[in-house]
Structure 1
Amino acid sequence: MTRAEEAAKVRDPRYPFTAIVGSEDLKLALILNAVSPGVGGVLVRGEKGTAKSTIVRALAALLPPVEVVRGCRFSCDPAAPDPGCPDGPHEAAPGTVRPARLVELPVGASEDRLAGSLDLERALTEGVKAFEPGLLADAHRGVLYVDEVNLLHDHLVDLLLDAAALGTCYVEREGVSVRHAARFLLVGTMNPEEGELRPQLLDRFGLTVEVRASREVSQRAEVVRRRLAFEADPAAFTASWQAQERELAARIAEARARVAEVTLPDSALHSIATVCAAFEVDGLRADLVTARAAIAHAAWRGGTTVTAEDVREAARLALPHRRRRDPFDAPGLDESKLDDLLDQMPEEPDDDPDDGPEDDGPGGGPEGGQEAGSADGPAEPTNQEGVPTPPSGEPAPGQTGQTGRDQVAEADPARRARLFTVPGLGAGAPGRRSRAATPLGRVTGARVPGGRPTSLHLRATVEAAAPYQVERGRSGPGLLLRREDLREATREGREGNLVLFVVDASGSMAARKRMSAVKGAVLGLLLDAYQRRDKVGLVTFRGSRADLVLPPTSSVEAGAARLRELPTGGRTPLAAGLLRAAEVLRVERLRDPSRRPLLVVVTDGRATSGTVEEAHRAAGLLAGIATVVVDCETGHIRLGLAASLARRMGAQAVRLDDLTDLAGVVRDRRAAA
């Protein structure tokens, strides 16, 4: 690093990596990726306020510098320049060395900002490919950091998936095509309470780490002490850690140079395959990532042969997020089971037992990582007396006034939930539920752009310019265009909605042993909401009140947890539930006017607390809201109260049996839309 670069770092200091207290697993995961970028990146999960972003940003100072072609905007390697580089072809010439970059992708970034954009006006009027590189080009041969990666819009996630899989970014605009290399270390941070990642993107992260704040008083005090010292004098604090930073950076560089010399013996490879098969991970990417991480760990500790301990550390970081069977499963790994599997691996002789890292201790895995149904865990749920609960988990008919907790019937992954949509054309956040005008989707027309056109409608542009060609003096081939001729394509895609569940948890539901079926149906709808990128909320009513047990959030995992813990019993305050729903929707409309709501009322229509007339008046406040009433009434004699409520609300009525039938099919409200 040059003196000028060191001076720049002092002027704009970042919190030193070596000054961070705790978070050993996260440090190790980032270091393994710095040693071997082929490991595939890191996903950092954790509660707010655990220094996730601080640690990731501090990593950039430790990465070895890169040599690039002078003047190339795409960071081509002088030793092997990209033959398809838009700034090429590059002639043989000495390159220049610069620090590795850490590029941050904002959650609200546009597609053009991520992938780059073409100057459409120059492309059409001058016939040149004027390309402005995006963040993927900046991150090439460096780190792409996405804070709150779980909140990233789907169209940006798709671009990231393509680039991560191919190592290349493609930009297509009306017949003009540009490609450039985009190989980067992907690091993302997220708070699981705000929503989960799509499985496709989750699998692209090589390693995952769960971060929690320490409960040790001395460690928490030291964190505060160092942070206050940094804020009081950042330059002095950073300078005091420069020796440790240089030492760690040098060790990473040495380990990176040693990776090619590390041997992966057949015994270690067999153990990796055994572990991945035993934990039932999907595909073979887990085996490859675990092998690469084990090799990187061996190089990091100074060894030349992968040992069982290397495999253990790699598996702890590479497997937890790959063994989730559905979005509601918390990531985790049973470390006792992992140790039992690795005990079968014959230990290789340690080539240098004294040359081990001081700061990459084993660190514990996620709490509660025990597998359901294992030898150490209960095979089935039990009540307080240890007696297995029946599938319904319902209280006896004479105990409906007491609080009971029901076992939740799991959503059947073999069938899809019934699709409910909001009528009309919205303009909310991109998703997969209701029709909307979005930046992506099929082209439906053209319009005059309000600013710089981002998606040119070529035919409409030609039709707008054609009548004026003689007037403009065109005398040869080609088309004379002006800015006012440009037309932008309008597109129709799908949006995510706010799906608010209003669930009757009263005794009339529990007494007839319907809550298990109700919870199973709602869980299936929650899974559908997760897949369609909706926000979800949950209102329940029982006794004499209605409660917002889950404020609108993108975390359907939190919704499933609230549903499993839902108490039942008492009278049925239907009017209170509808009034609470109206208030929640009013507040959410102020917070996010573009996100349209879909109300799902799950009830048998009874109102034993208050009157039916009060419930119908409350229903009138929800007129105009797209609503589905799930009729939970059972038995040979039906009063039709839920159907009557649906008519009052102008809602679609659906029988609970239609949602819980194992032979259910997908039905779409396309006619209403």
Structure 2
Amino acid sequence: MRPYPFTAVVGMPDLRLGLVLSSISPAIGGVLVRGEKGTAKSTMVRALAGLLPEVDVVEGCRFSCDPVAPDPDCPDAPHGEGAFRRPARLVELPVGAAEDRVIGSLNLERALTEGVTDFQPGLLAAAHRGLLYVDEVNLLHDHLVDTLLDAAAMGRATVEREGVSVSHAARFVLIGTMNPEEGELRPQLLDRFGLTVEVAASRDPEQRAEVIRRRLAYESDPDSFAARFEESDAQLAAEIAAAQKLLPSVELTDEALRQIAEVCAAFEVDGMRADIVTARTAVAHAAWSGRTEVAGEDIRVAARLALPHRRRRNPFDAPGIDEEQLEQALRDAEPPEDPGPPDDDGPGSGSDAPAEGQHGDRDGQHGDRSGQHGDRSGQHGGEQKPVGSGKPFRAKRFEVAGVGGEGVHGKRSRAVTDAGRTVGVHPAGVREGRPHLVATVRAAAPHQRSRGRSGAGLVLRPSDLRFAVREGREGNLVLFCVDASGSMGAKSRMREVKAAVLSLLLDAYQRRDKVGLVTFRAGAADLALPPTISVEAAAARLEGLPTGGRTPLAEGLLEAARVLRREAVRDPRRRPLLVVVTDGRATNGADAVARSQQAADILAGAGVASVVMDCETGRMRLGLAAELAARLGGEHVPLGEVAADALATEVRRRAA
């Protein structure tokens, strides 16, 4: 089946432009496409590969060396004289890919027996001189994202294993797509992407109808549909190739550099990467526009694509850029104009006006989209919020006790992972993880005489191979079970509780945890937020948490137990921690106390690690939360005796 044509995609000019500019200049650092599901993100990326010029490759080279300038350090060197031409590749990286699959691996057996470095290329080598596409990049392990971004920035990939180092060229256009509802990338990783583009489905009925019409036509007859757009795709491909040729000739003047620096400084972005990416993008846009000198319009477009995601300082900030602030920064960065003779009406100014007006229209369209997004946010923020939270603070790490088995990559609790320090060796016959050089040699050494070894090298058998056990850090599931009944309605109390929970959410974001929120009030429990890595959603639900009614403690605990049982099936590699925020009262019915005790016994019997935040206040205290903690086999933390930051510290110190 022929891929969907690039020029057949309806709308989304920003995404189209970002992909084209990155194709013209891969040094920009790729594109991160953020948007809701079903917005043709993947369709456009896959279609882009068909627009790139074909590449000449050395025959027999697994690393796609250019015959004109082959990589002198290529593992397949020296090269022969044969060459062939092939289309640029689109390499897709699965979310669950292992590190060896991404960067490549060394054949330890051949290294020991033959003394040769037999390197098996990974996906980075396959993507050289093409596109590397990562769908749902926000769900990829952080260390793999770091590896991809390092290779994209440096143009090389290096593999070091067991004292052997291999390096090869890896220049590619990196494109990542993500749905923000499923969680954000950390700011450090966001900054490493060159450009970012926000996409959303059109609200215009006519445009939506055209999207459906074209999609149905493509599914009915892909070849016939693609033929309709062959000419427009070919024209766009020719324009990209022409811009690539013009790119080295584009001049970035000192005046343009000062403008870029002033704009980036006005937005207070961290570091210098924003300035460099904006400059490269402006040069690419000038080449795309057929100019040999960077102009103000190029800087404006570059800033709109390169700066929004770099203004995000914490996970509760939404990426974005203030269009009015951008225009003001550009005006402030403009050099003083030569007024010219008094009687000169400035015909050049008149000719510039239409271009500025046209660009203003584009900015207006972008502003409209931002406004729509703001409306949606406003609707979400319109939920009942009787009590706001205090300011979040930096939380210390708390850990689940023990060592988890095959945990999810994260930065919290100790666990067996495929990365980290070597702590042991798997038993003979268990082939998991990376080979362990020393253990393999020890296993083979006693048998060398009986195997007739002569000369250099070891005589190995498959049974000699030993694999390392590695211990790293895992992410956990933190499930908050919050009492929102009338007895919790005191403003000062809820503000303190929300501040503590919000701080723990921030800590969970940084350590790659999954979070969930169960609330109970007015006779019922509610799963306010199913377990997710999107702490932004959890923070929003927390802020909008209403209070009032009786205290259905048993229902809250039972709902938490159900959630944890489901998650144990869906995501068994995450060890859970239940955080119950309550004063311990159970007032929903005559048997409320007995039912809450039974619910606590169920959780304790399942071995769920727990912490009870005691929110009881006043001189006369019943100590019900402490009794609940004892029933759960968890830790009791009296909220009334500690400040919000101390409360979070107590949670992090909890025992298994």
Q: Which of 598, 602, 610 does residue 627 from structure 1 map onto? A: 610
Partner of 1:612: 593
Counterpart check, 1:278 vs 2:266: yes
- Residue pairs, 1:102-181, within 5 angstroms: 102-181=90-169
Match of 2:628 among 624, 627, 645: 645
Aligned to 2:344: none
- Cα distance change, pair 459–434 in 1 and its aligned pair in 2 (3 A): same
Residue 589 of structure 1 corresponds to which residue in structure 2?
A: 568
Shift of 1:13: 1.0
Identity of aligned residues (%): 64
The answer on whether the counterparts of 1:502 and 1:602 sit within 8 Å (CA) in structure 2 is yes
- State the match for 2:41 in structure 1: 52
Instruction: Return 5+ residue gaps in structure 1 as ranges.
Output: 1-11, 373-382, 385-401
Paired residues of 1:658 and 1:664 also in contact (CA < 8 A): no
Distance 1:667 1:573 in 2: 23
Does residue 447 (structure 1) correspond to residue 426 (structure 2)? The answer is yes
The aligned amino acid for 2:425 is A
Partner Cα separation in structure 2 for residue 35 and residue 161 of structure 1: 18
Q: Distance in 2 between the 1:23 and 1:17 partners?
A: 11
Letter in 2 for 1:630: M
| Corresponding residue number in structure 2 for 1:654 | 637
Q: Given that residues 417 and 666 in structure 1 are in contact (C-alpha distance below 8 angstroms), is that contact kept between their aligned partners in structure 2?
A: no
SS in 1 for 2:418: strand
1:476 & 1:253 partners in 2: Cα distance? 56
Given candidates 23, 32, 52, the residue that maps to 1:43 is: 32
For 1:259, the equivalent position in structure 2 comes to 247
How far did 1:404 drift? 4.9
Deviation per CA, 1:230-253: give whole Å up to 9, x if none.
Answer: 111111111111111111111111
Helix, strand or coil: the match of 2:420?
strand
- CA offset at residue 664 of structure 1? 7.5
Q: Taking structure 1 as reference, are residues 173 and 264 closer, same or farther at Cα in structure 2, changes over 3 Å only?
A: closer
CA pair 166-268 structure 1, distance change in 2 beyond 3 A: closer
Structure-2 change in CA distance of 1:370 and 1:280 (3 Å):
farther
Q: Across the two proteins, how many residue pairs are aligned to each other?
A: 630
Structure 2 letter corresponding to 1:514: R
8 Å contact from structure 1 (residues 301, 355) kept in 2 = no
- Alpha-carbon distance in structure 1 between the residues aligned to 2:650 and 2:246: 55
Structure 1 residue 293: deviation in Å?
1.1
Q: 2:173 aligns with which of 185, 197, 204?
A: 185
* Deviations, residues 567-588 of structure 1 (Å, cap 9, x unaligned): 1222221111111101111121
Contact 2:610/2:632, CA 8 A, preserved across alignment: yes
Match of 2:406 among 423, 427, 435: 427
C-alpha separation between the residues in 2 aligned to 1:663 and 1:517?
A: 9
Shift of 1:499: 1.2
Q: 1:597 to 1:351 in 2, by over 3 A?
A: farther
Aligned partner of 1:490: which letter? V
Report if aligned partners of 2:29, 2:174 keep a CA contact under 8 Å in 1. yes
Rounded to whole Å, the distance in 2 between the matches of 1:371 and 1:346 is: 34
Q: Secondary structure at the match of 2:463?
A: helix
AA of the residue aligned to 1:242: E
1:527, 1:66 → 2: CA distance? 46
TM norm structure 2: 0.90
Deviations 1:631-652, CA, capped at 9 Å, x for gaps? 2233454432222211110012
Q: Tell me: CA distance 1:476–1:271, structure 2 relative to 1, closer, same or farther (3 Å).
A: closer
Residues in 1 aligned to 2:57 and 2:268: alpha-carbon distance in whole angstroms: 42
Q: Which residue of 2 aligns with 1:472?
A: 451
Report how far residue 89 of structure 1 moved: 2.8
CA distance in 2, matches of 1:15, 1:510: 55
Counterpart of 1:78 (choices 67, 70, 78) is 67
Indicate the residue corresponding to 1:337 in structure 2: 325
CA-atom RMSD, angstroms?
Answer: 2.9
Matches of 1:66 and 1:666 in 2, distance apart?
A: 59
- 5+ residue gaps, structure 2, are 338-347, 375-380
Q: Alpha-carbon deviation of 1:286?
A: 0.7
For residues 541-560 of structure 1, what are the structure 2 equivalents within 5 Å?
541-560=520-539
Shift of 1:59: 0.7
Give the conservation status (yes or no) of the 8 Å contact 1:120–1:453: no
For the Cα contact (< 8 Å) 2:429–2:463, is it kept in 1?
Answer: no
Partner of 2:341: none
Matched, 1:580 2:568: no
Equivalent residue number for residue 342 of structure 2: none
Give distance in 2, aligned partners of 1:501 and 1:488.
38
Match of 1:317 in 2: 305
Instruction: Label 1:562 to 1:288 Cα distance change in 2 as closer, same or farther (>3 A).
Output: same
2:583, 2:325 → 1: CA distance?
A: 46
Classify the secondary structure of the residue corresponding to 2:37: coil
2:14 maps to amino acid = D
Which letter maps to 1:408?
S
Deviation at 1:603, TM superposition (A): 1.4
Counterpart-to-counterpart distance in 1, 2:439 and 2:470 = 14
| Partners of 1:636 and 1:410 in 2: CA distance | 28
Aligned: 1:601 with 2:585: no
SS in 2 for 1:405: coil
- Tell me what 1:199 maps to: 187
Distance 1:297 1:240, change over 3 A: same
The code of the aligned residue for 1:225 comes to R
Question: 509, 523, 535: which is aligned to 2:514?
Answer: 535
The 3-state SS of whatever aligns with 2:550 is coil
d(CA) in 2 for partners of 1:57, 1:617: 54
Residue 18 of structure 2 corresponds to which residue in structure 1? 29
**How far is 1:49 from its partner?**
0.4
Residue 68 of structure 1 corresponds to 57
Q: Describe the shift of the 1:547–1:311 C-alpha distance in structure 2 as closer, same or farther (beyond 3 A).
A: same
Kindly indicate which of the two structures has a greater share of residues assigned to helix: 2
* Counterpart contact for 2:493–2:615, Cα < 8 Å: yes
CA 1:109–1:100 in structure 2 vs 1: closer, same or farther (change >3 Å)? Answer: same
Structure 1 residues 420 and 473, CA gap change in structure 2 (3 angstroms): closer
Q: Give me the whole-angstrom Cα distance separating, in 2, the residues matched to 1:494 and 1:659.
A: 29
Indicate the SS of the match to 2:446. helix
Give secondary structure in 1 for the equivalent of 2:389.
coil
Residue 488 (structure 1) shift: 0.8
* Superposed CA offset, 1:624-669 (max 9, x none): 1011112223345443222221111001223446572379769865
